[in-house]
Amino acid sequence: MANILLTTRCNRSCPYCFAEREMAGSDVDSLMSWENLIYIADFLLMSGQRRVSLLGGEPTIHPECVDYILYLLERGFDVTVFTNGMLGKSRREEFRRHLTGISRERLTFVCNLNDPLQTPAPHTERERIEEFLSLMGPWVSPGFNIYRPDFTLDFLFDAINRFGLKRHLRLGITHPIPGKGNGFIRPAEMRQVVERLYSYREIFEATRVSPGLDCGFPMCKFTDEELGWLNRFRGSPHFRCGAAVDITPDMSVYHCFPLSDYQRRSLFEFDSLLEIEEHFRQLRQQIRVEIAGIFEECDGCRQREDDVCSGGGVCQLLNRFVDEAPVRIPEIEHEIAKNRHPL
């Protein structure tokens, strides 16, 4: 899978934002161009890809966001747009005119929703999001970023019912941006997160909403009963690190937001998505030679050997290196050193 970043700007500032590093380091006016988009579409098609995600910053800020979506659909891609839902009136009107006729199988929005109590937002922001959900609800899967262990999900079930959203809730845990000291879920908090999630089991079942786990969840923090519960939903859950490749407006490719400084390359250096994936697989492998996973038990863990669980996120491991012993791989050590806190 590939994520195309249409812009590095965002119109919201979530406390847990992983894209922070990419946005901070970028030219504020960095926008994906038509030339680059066509190149990427050709590149992905020739790599056998038929699905693509649009990200940002906030992708709907891009002035030609609607045209880009339509273009990718015309090229035969199924498109997922990751949005915060904060669209202005005119952009909403564009969506209504041009996107509401598209099949929900081919176009999906993952709308990242924040808990109105734990992450309060100004009234105007909430209003905009609600208007977006009222318009595009049937195309929207709600997304939620868990950034504190005492999170609540009730408001999401309300939103699903109220706006007729897709009955699939995408759950991500917030990851560390190595060296940035941002808020994230620490390995020691994972069990609490899982327990909290499982406490919503009955509501998931009653509302027929399926949970979907993003990257970085550790498998061993789920009991057999909890795993059995997850398994009942669409296919088995995965406990991986290494979801998709991100492509920026300036045609850089990197592993994911938290690792945007690590072995970042230009898309033009590669002939296929497979080559890029291999490049980043090697990056993960190099790091995991140093440390197998987020827990000591990861070293020699059967689930890791069987490739069922990655041993948590590489971002967590790199974040540890920032403050702990240096790694031996010069290129990675170089990037880490830049982020190391002065003693």
Partner 1 sequence: MKLPKIVIPYNKTLLRSMSGQIVAVRVKSIPQAAEAAAHVRDSGNALFCVIVEANSPLAELALHDGIKDIPLAIMAPAMGKFRRVTAILPVLRGGNIRIYLPCDRPDNITSLRLLSSLGIHCCALFAPGETNWEELADLMTYAVLERAPHAPIEPFEFIASSYEPSSYLDWGRIFFDDPRHFLHLDARGRVALSRREASMGDFIAAGIAEIAAADEFPAISERINSWRYRLAENHPCAFCAGWKICLGRFAPEAGEDGGCAGFFQEMLDVARQRGAQRAGGEELRVWQP
Residues that bind partner 1 (CB under 8 A): 33-35, 38, 41-43, 45-46, 64, 66-67, 70-71, 74-76, 94, 98
- Contact between 291 and ligand SF4 per CB under 6 A: no
Q: Given candidates 215, 283, 291, 332, which one binds ligand SF4 under the rule CB under 6 A?
A: 215
Looking at beta carbons only, is 47 or 303 nearer to ligand SF4? 303
**Least separation in angstroms between CB 38 and ligand SF4:** 27
Peptide bond into 57 cis (omega under 30): yes
Sheet containing 252-254: order of strands: 210-213, 168-173, 140-146, 107-112, 78-83, 51-55, 2-5, 245-247, 252-254, 265-266
Residue 55 falls in which region: left (phi positive, over 0), alpha (psi -120 to 50) or beta: beta
Choices 56-64, 124-132, 143-151, 235-243; region in contact with ligand SF4 by CB under 6 A: 235-243
Nearer to ligand SF4 by Cβ, of 121 and 244: the residue is: 244
Cα 152 to the center of its chain, rounded Å = 20
Residue 285 CB, nearest approach to ligand SF4 (Å): 13
Number of residues that bind ligand SF4 (CB under 6 A): 26
Question: How near is the Cβ of 280 to ligand SF4 at its closest, in Å?
Answer: 9
Nearest to ligand SF4 by Cβ — which residue? 313
Closest separation in Å from C-beta 90 to partner 1: 13
Which burial class, exposed, middle or buried, applies to 78 when counting CB atoms under 10 A from its CB (0-12, 13-18, 19+)?
middle
Kindly state the tokens that stand for 343: 């003693």
Q: How many CB atoms lie within 10 A of CB 100?
A: 12
Residue with smaller CB distance to ligand SF4, 95 or 184:
184
2 touching ligand SF4, by CB under 6 A: no
The two three-digit tokens of residue 15, written as one number: 């406390």
Sequence-distant (≥ 6) Cβ neighbours of residue 241 within 8 angstroms: 215, 216, 284, 310, 311, 312, 313, 314, 315
Nearer to ligand SF4 (CB atom), residue 31 or residue 309: 309
Q: Which 240-269 residues touch ligand SF4, going by CB under 6 A?
A: 241-243, 255-256, 258-259
Residue number with CB closer to ligand SF4 (160 or 298): 298
Range 306-325, binding ligand SF4 (CB under 6 A): 309, 311-315
**Nearest partner of 112 among 154, 83, 153, judged by Cα:** 83
| Contact flag: residue 193 with ligand SF4 (CB under 6 A) | no
Which partner from the list partner 1, ligand SF4, none does 216 bind, CB cut-off 5 to 8 Å by kind?
A: ligand SF4
Which region among 23-31, 88-96, 260-268, 289-297 touches ligand SF4 (by CB under 6 A)? 289-297
Which residues have CB under 8 Å from 236's CB, separation 6+?
A: 230
- Strand (E) positions, 227-284? 245-247, 252-254, 265-266
CB 45 → partner 1: shortest distance, Å? Answer: 5
Nearest to 314 by CA among 212, 176, 185, 180: 176
Q: Are 207 and 160 in contact (CB under 8 A)?
A: yes
Phi (first) and psi of residue 133, to 5 degrees: -65, -35
Please pick, from the candidates 153, 220, 230, 251, the single residue that binds ligand SF4 as defined by CB under 6 A.
220
Least Cβ distance, residue 10 to ligand SF4 (angstroms): 17
The residue among 56 and 137 lying less far from ligand SF4, judged by its C-beta, is 56
* Cα–Cα dist 321/124, whole Å: 41
Could you tell me the smallest distance in angstroms from the CB atom of residue 29 to ligand SF4?
26
**For strand 78-83 and strand 51-55, is the pairing parallel, antiparallel, or unpaired?**
parallel
User: Using CB under 6 A as the criterion, which residues of the chain lie in contact with ligand SF4 when the complex forms?
Assistant: 175, 215-216, 218-220, 241-243, 255-256, 258-259, 293, 295, 297-298, 301, 303-304, 309, 311-315
